[in-house]
A and B are shown apart, each in its own frame.
Chain A
């Protein structure tokens, strides 16, 4: 219990510190580290995501059609509400956690254990500036980009392959989708994926910099803890954010589009 409280407190402190130091991204080595993080989290992940994302859209459409005996309207609504709003950002977050969250927490734990973080301190380099800020900002940007990528592919895949399952043309499905689509879906995705990215990076950095002990055995423990907590955080943010946006904040306003 005490550890959980300490972790929450530490995570919040780290998050606030990282958010406050974002202007440090102007410094050349930090900017370079940020770009490297965007590349590893976003660009390298995108190639493997292509097929899986389009398969996701097709699968959801196919199952829905089959189980609910859905018509065009229902199929498009599900594509927008489920795939675009919820599964797209969640799928991107899962990819980021599994690919970058694990790597980031292990790398930082290794740096801490092998004394590299201490070396940085002796060189008068702030750990938040050099290690945390570029990772947090990089993962936020990459998660947002990956989210759009997954959404675009899943929706396009759904639209392209649905005509083989239901009696509807691609144009019919597409025009209905554009009718239903509202800018709020777009902003909702951006803010949510930025939050996901921030939570994932901050959680992994916190655990990486605070291993349970300074031995090699701590690395797997750090990774397990970081991944588990990242997944829980992302699910919590998803639920709370959906409730705030569609339940309280824009109640009635958003309802019109669905």
Chain B
């Protein structure tokens, strides 16, 4: 069953006097419960696409729909995990996890308290409820960000390069953690990244996009079962897929590997 459908999505915007074609006739769909990753060089419009799906950007051409409902603006059926943790610095961890639910007003007080506690535990931050974000490492802040999104109980979880700002080691830990959490939370995920091996490791399918204008180049079905361990990244078949995606991506490797 298709959860999220993007059909013939085209997005233009103006940069000064120049019109830029950010997305050109993008078509893709995410199945219910599927983990879909989107990779592409910087400037391929993948973040623009996520912002449109999140309802943060308007679009003029094409259709974006969740469960057949056309997306117009932000909604309680979606939640976003941003690249920067975007936590309220004056709120404690518990206060931040509650924040999304508070804004959406879907749950009563008791339910919010329960869910806050549950999701803090789920992301492995039990005991840190009363800490402030500035007291946490980057990896822990992204856990809070994830807990905040999951606590709002979205149908689709949108993740915008959530681990891009982390160091390589923390990043690997977080990828493995995300898979564990995802297995428990049972959510449909659209995950944006510019790291190809991150996409293959996490996703059921990987969508490869090209730059200027952004469009879908190819879609790879990842054949590995779950649960997956980090050893998978050294599996010959894994490396083969990684190679194939590398060759599809037009930009030079140095540019793509760059952390934006």
**Does A associate with B in a complex?**
no
Task: Give the B-binding residues of A (Cβ under 8 A).
Answer: none
Listed in ascending order, the chain B residues whose CB lies under 8 Å from chain A are: none
